[in-house]
A and B are shown apart, each in its own frame.
Chain A
């Protein structure tokens, strides 16, 4: 069974540009979450989608946005890039969202460098 697939693996952008990252969840998984990982802050929650609806959002500015498609694939967009946005962006999928916690399975991430 294929794992969570993230593309691209590496990206280099300049300040002010915008970027779109893609995530394909494990087959059958309907929930997709995004996390930002930096050496200083560790892993921080960005947002979570289930059935094309954003269910939960972390404390990030509006420049960070996402969406989920009907096939559960998800994209994340960052507009007006800043140097501090340089990070590893991780996507995770789980089987469902409900009152009971679900196990998250992570992709290998997209390493974004902003120059």
Chain B
């Protein structure tokens, strides 16, 4: 079992819908949580970065972390066709010897006009 699990989708929603993307994890040492967006033939782009539990909002995007449940979410409000991409969750533990990100496999999102 991978340390980070993410439903691959695909997820198809109409323009303007609220999108909910989720990941679960098993390593309780994870403290840093990120969401990346990846368009076809491009590298991942950092969307949201959260330390420990709680919510963080940035424009139409809200990231939530529930460490007690080992569950993180990304909400996209008023979704746009330009949001169509693969969304990857990533997380890591605190380390003094460098670090590695542990990624989910990504959820493919399609927003239709």
Chain A residues close to B by CB (< 8 Å)? 4, 6, 31, 33, 35, 41-45, 48, 50, 55-56, 58, 90, 92, 97-109
Residues 31-46 of B, flagged 1 when their CB comes within 8 A of A and 0 if not, give 1101010000111111
Tell me if B43 and A42 are in contact (CB < 8 A). no
Determine which of A4, A56, A103 lies in contact with B97 in the assembled complex, contact meaning CB atoms within 8 Å.
A56
Tell me if B98 and A106 are in contact (CB < 8 A). no
Tell me if B98 and A97 are in contact (CB < 8 A). yes
With A42-B105, A99-B95, A100-B94 in contact, is A105–B46 under 8 Å at CB?
yes
Tell me if B103 and A42 are in contact (CB < 8 A). yes
With A4-B43, A90-B43, A103-B46 in contact, is A56–B100 under 8 Å at CB?
yes
In B76-113, which residues have CB < 8 Å from any A CB? Answer: 88, 90, 92, 94-106
Tell me if A109 and B43 are in contact (CB < 8 A). yes
Residues of B near A104 (CB, < 8 A) are 46, 101
Tell me if A108 and B42 are in contact (CB < 8 A). yes
Question: Considering the chains assembled together, what is the distance between the CA atoms of A101 and B99 in angstroms?
Answer: 7
Tell me if B43 and A97 are in contact (CB < 8 A). no
B31 and chain A: residue at smallest CB distance: A101
Residues of B near A105 (CB, < 8 A) are 46
A38 and chain B: residue at smallest CB distance: B105
Residues 58-82 of B, flagged 1 when their CB comes within 8 A of A and 0 if not, give 0000000000000000000000000
Q: Which of A33, A99, A101, A105 has the most CB of B within 10 A?
A: A101
Residues of A near B103 (CB, < 8 A) are 35, 42-44
Which 9 A-B residue pairs are closest in the complex by CB-CB distance?
A55-B98, A106-B43, A42-B105, A56-B98, A45-B100, A43-B103, A101-B32, A108-B43, A48-B98
Tell me if A99 and B43 are in contact (CB < 8 A). no
Question: Considering the chains assembled together, what is the distance between the CA atoms of A60 and B78 in angstroms?
Answer: 41
Nearest-Cβ distance from residue A37 to partner chain B, whole angstroms: 9
Tell me if B99 and A48 are in contact (CB < 8 A). yes
Tell me if B97 and A55 are in contact (CB < 8 A). yes
Q: Which of B51, B95, B96, B104 has the most CB of A within 10 A?
A: B95
